[in-house]
Structure formats: structure tokens, C-alpha cells
Amino acid sequence: MISTKVRRRLPWGVYLVLLPTFALLAAFAYYPALNGMVHSLFEWRPGFESPFVGFENYLTMLGDDLWWASFRNIGIIFVWAVTLMWVLPLLAAELVMSLSSERLRFVFRTLLILPLAFPAVVNVLLWQFMYDPRDGVINSLLRAVGLDGLAGNWIGDPDTALVALMTIGFPWVASLPFLVFLSALQNVPAEIYQAAEVDGAGRLRRFWSIDLPMMFRDVKLLFVLAVISVLQYGMQAHIMTKGGPDNATQVPVLRMLDAAFLDTSWGYAATLGTVLFALTLAVSLVALALGRKAQA
């Protein structure tokens, strides 16, 4: 009796269930990820013999001015993303919570996040139209109010292209930060607000002393996600500027893709991909470690 029970516990079925999943992941997740790292040490010529070159690709990267310029650009994008792109969503979340009627809150919350219902690519293409030098909304508006002199070629001018890219989606309320801020505020127990009111705390005081501390954990998480997503930034730049004009909007992802698909330097592209992965991993691990420490 006991022996049959033990035999039934031998979990062959369990491994059989997992087998297809791991076969798929081995072929299309683990293998390419590892293969990319390995071939970052090769002059990779898919379909032909690829000579081993050691760390040559990494040395090339150290001297690649475009690559470092692309990090300057995502640095700027990152600072913008965690300041301006948080302030308005935070303000909107506070305003929604200031409404006294549950129905009004629901209506405004829905209207504010409605742009999330549209594909990201549509958002970018619509903003491309907004910036159109001749027919776009921004220049048409400037001309309509008599400010013709201010009308510009927003994404065609190296001085404004990066700002134009970062302004896509203004006022950025239809975003993850807004959803996070709003649910954090909704989770503040009503008793705390009542106690604050009894103590005579005003709206601003309440924001600094209650709301912000209560949101701190979520803000940390958003911060990490912002680092990770800025390392992967690329779709907007590719549609609008292709990294131009004059490399003013060059970003690491576009540099990596150009290395492979324009210069056909597959080994070098694998190197850049590996470095991007290592940076993402480092950020995730540091965040994880800090999270553990905070919990302990």
C-alpha cells in the first residue's frame, strides 16, 4: 500500500506537462538570449563562417560616439519622464480624489484614461501629424493666433526634435503613473484623512504629510520601471525621426538595429544588445535587492 503510494507520487506526469513549455522556451527564449551573448564575441556573419574576435566589439563600442550620444538622449528622456511626466498625472489623481461625488470621479477617471484604449502607434502617428510643419495642429494654432514667427519644423529641427518626441502624449495622464497614483490615493484609509482634518491640516499639508509618504513605495516601483522602459525606448523615435535629424534623437535601440540591419555588423549589434540587457538586469537586481532590504 505504502509502496504504491510512493510510486504514485513519482511525478512523471508533472514533468510531462512542463516539457512542451520548456521545449518552446529553450528554442525561442534561452537559446537566442545566450546565443546573442556568445556571438557578441564574434564577427557574426549569419550563414557564413563567423570568426572569433574576443572583446573587439566591446572595444568598438567604447569608441562609438553615436552609442554614447544615444545614452545622453535617453538620459534626458528619463529625467523628463520622472519629473514632468509624473507631475500632471499626480495633479490629476489628486484632483479626481478631491471630487466629492463617486459618479464624477468615475466619469473623469474614464475620460482621463480613455487615450489608453488606442494603440500606441496611433498615438505616435497622430502626434506626427500635430507636428506637421504645414498642416499640423501646433503650427495651425500658432498661425491662427498670429504667432506665425513661432511656427517651426518641430521634428525636422535638431534643436526641437528630442523635446517634440518627449512631448508625445501630453498631458500624459492616460498612463501607468496616473493609474498607480490614483489607486495609491484610493487606498489611503479614510480615518487618516478624518484625523488630519480634525487636526486642522489643509489640503496642501495633507498632500505633503499623508499622500506623498503613502505613495513612496509605488513611486520607487515607477522609478525602476521608468529606467527599464527608457533603455528600451525606440518606437516613437523610429516612426518620427529615425534617430535624426543629425542624430539628435538617436537612442540605444535604434543604434543597435542600425548596426545589424544597415551596417550588417551582426556581432556588434549582438554586443550592443548584450550591454542593454546587462544594464536592464543590473537595474532590476538592484531594485529587487533594495526592495528586500526595505521589507526586512
Query: Which parts of 134-153 interact with another protein (CB under 8 A)?
Result: 135, 137, 140, 144
Angstrom distance (rounded) from CA 196 to CA 199: 5
Q: Which stretch binds another protein (CB under 8 A): 72-80, 150-158, 185-193, 250-258?
A: 250-258
Among 69, 79, 116, 201, binds another protein (CB under 8 A): 116
Among 55, 170, 208, 216, binds another protein (CB under 8 A): 170
Give me the least distance between CB of 283 and another protein, in Å please: 10
Contact flag: residue 31 with another protein (CB under 8 A): yes
Tell me if 155 sits within 8 A of 66, measured CB to CB.
Answer: no
Among 1, 13, 146, 191, binds another protein (CB under 8 A): 13
Angstrom distance (rounded) from CA 169 to CA 218: 22
Among 81, 162, 174, 227, binds another protein (CB under 8 A): 174
Contact flag: residue 104 with another protein (CB under 8 A): yes
Comparison of 169 and 245: residue with beta carbon closer to another protein: 169
Give me the least distance between CB of 179 and another protein, in Å please: 6
> How far is the CA of 90 from the CAs of 6, 107, 113, 220, in angstroms?
58, 18, 13, 14
DSSP, collapsed to helix, strand or coil, labels residue 42 as: strand
Which residues inside 49-78 make contact with another protein, applying CB under 8 A? Answer: none
Comparison of 124 and 159: residue with beta carbon closer to another protein: 124
Angstrom distance (rounded) from CA 64 to CA 58: 10
Contact flag: residue 133 with another protein (CB under 8 A): no
Comparison of 66 and 116: residue with beta carbon closer to another protein: 116
List of residues 6+ apart from 102 with CB closer than 8 A = none
Contact flag: residue 42 with another protein (CB under 8 A): no
> How far is the CA of 177 from the CAs of 59, 222, 290, in angstroms?
38, 7, 21
Angstrom distance (rounded) from CA 227 to CA 231: 6
Tell me if 256 sits within 8 A of 273, measured CB to CB.
Answer: yes
Q: Which stretch binds another protein (CB under 8 A): 53-61, 78-86, 125-133, 152-160?
A: 125-133
Among 3, 4, 83, 100, binds another protein (CB under 8 A): 100
Contact flag: residue 113 with another protein (CB under 8 A): yes
Contact flag: residue 216 with another protein (CB under 8 A): no
Comparison of 152 and 234: residue with beta carbon closer to another protein: 234
Query: What residues does 52 pair with on adjacent strands?
Result: 42
Angstrom distance (rounded) from CA 73 to CA 96: 34
For residue 87, how far is the Cα from the chain centroid? 17
Angstrom distance (rounded) from CA 18 to CA 276: 30
Among 228, 245, 247, 258, binds another protein (CB under 8 A): 228
Angstrom distance (rounded) from CA 64 to CA 72: 13
Comparison of 88 and 210: residue with beta carbon closer to another protein: 88
Q: Is 17 left (phi over 0), alpha (psi -120 to 50) or beta?
A: alpha
Angstrom distance (rounded) from CA 71 to CA 279: 12
Give me the least distance between CB of 100 and another protein, in Å please: 5
Comparison of 30 and 55: residue with beta carbon closer to another protein: 30
Among 188, 192, 196, 225, binds another protein (CB under 8 A): 225
Angstrom distance (rounded) from CA 228 to CA 68: 17
